[in-house]
Structure 1
């Protein structure tokens, strides 16, 4: 059956440990059955909110002041996913956020595998751009608030469900095989908990999820 969890993070700055929000969408049998999203308080040393990032997603420091920390919330993320393949648009970014958050807070990363919906879209559609809004539109999903983590996760899920139907396959593993998109394990980062200040407004952020 087509079972997976779509995921999207927004970050406060260019540190992969600076997740400030996450959106999660659970798919069972090709249908969305559950959704979750929440703010995350980034760990010390990774918690500066760059103007560039805020301009993109609209989240500011005061939004996360009373949010739970990464180490408090990561178990909730793991429990929601239930061991699913994690699907994200530019999965390298989002899986890097998971690895970065765990490394920066000194907690053990759970066993995860991921698939990139950006790569799936490239092997499924013929588009001028494969950014999330364009790929989602090709999948029949449009009008969502881009860079809202919950909405982006929903759009990502729509792409994979549509692509599986387009290729006539019943699972994410079969979709990976037919599109030659690898389902990869998420590797832990070898990094000690970090307390150094991050670059400020003069720096552009790391590449976003799409």
Structure 2
């Protein structure tokens, strides 16, 4: 079934959720990818150390982001790219935490987004030994991508949700969340509204 959303993935410079150094965005409309974007991000001080293990995982170094814009540049772009879409991410709590913490460090208002975790959707859709992104993506027919490349990971996440929606015959993310019993999350002021309506169809993750 056709679903529409924006998939997102971040890489961070270190263990701080405010150290985003790369973001991948994939816009899905009616079940098809219509736009892709990858951007490097210059992490803010004092969250700008590039830890050895993080660099080893994603290959992004301080020099690669030296001329990149900070989050104050990328946040408006994220809002424009996603529009009114729900966001989707694999282990979404991490990626939403990056948005929240990085935005707060810059003293900016946290954007309003509802979101769905593709990891949780995968757990309720496939029978796998591992639900890490490469395994879940393979179950959805999306293989041979560069894991820990933010754009490739966002595309893999999008593929999981599109495939799961078809499998569950869900034509939007609200329906997919309902049939898989995955809670819908929210950030920004919409999070407060969702919390107040926790007894209704939307509950915070």
- Whether TM exceeds 0.5 here: the answer is yes
1:122 aligns to what?
123
For residues 113-151 of structure 1, what are the alpha-carbon distances to aligned partners after superposition, in whole Å with 9 as ceiling and x for unaligned? Answer: 110000000000000000000000000000000000000
Q: Any idea what SS the aligned residue of 1:127 has?
A: coil
1:72 aligns to what?
73
Q: Any idea what SS the aligned residue of 1:185 has?
A: strand
RMSD: 0.9
2:64 aligns to what?
63
Q: 1:181, 1:85 → 2: CA distance? A: 14
Relative to its length, the structure with more helix (as a share) is 2
Q: How big is the shift at 1:187?
A: 4.5
Q: Which has the higher contact order (CA 8 A, sep 6+)?
A: 1
1:185 aligns to what?
186
2:44 aligns to what?
43
Q: How big is the shift at 1:177?
A: 0.4
For residues 77-128 of structure 1, what are the alpha-carbon distances to aligned partners after superposition, in whole Å with 9 as ceiling and x for unaligned? Answer: 1110012110000000000000011111101111111100000000000000
Under a length normalisation based on structure 2, what TM-score does the superposition of the two structures give?
Answer: 0.90
2:156 aligns to what?
155
1:3 paired with 2:4, answer yes
Under a length normalisation based on structure 1, what TM-score does the superposition of the two structures give?
Answer: 0.88
Q: How big is the shift at 1:7?
A: 0.2
Q: 1:20, 1:145 → 2: CA distance? A: 17
The list of structure 1 runs, each at least 4 consecutive aligned residues, that deviate by more than 6 angstroms after superposition, is: none
Aligned residues: 188
For the Cα contact (< 8 Å) 2:111–2:188, is it kept in 1? Answer: no
2:16 aligns to what?
15
For residues 54-87 of structure 1, what are the alpha-carbon distances to aligned partners after superposition, in whole Å with 9 as ceiling and x for unaligned? Answer: 0000000000000000111110011100121100
1:139 paired with 2:107, answer no
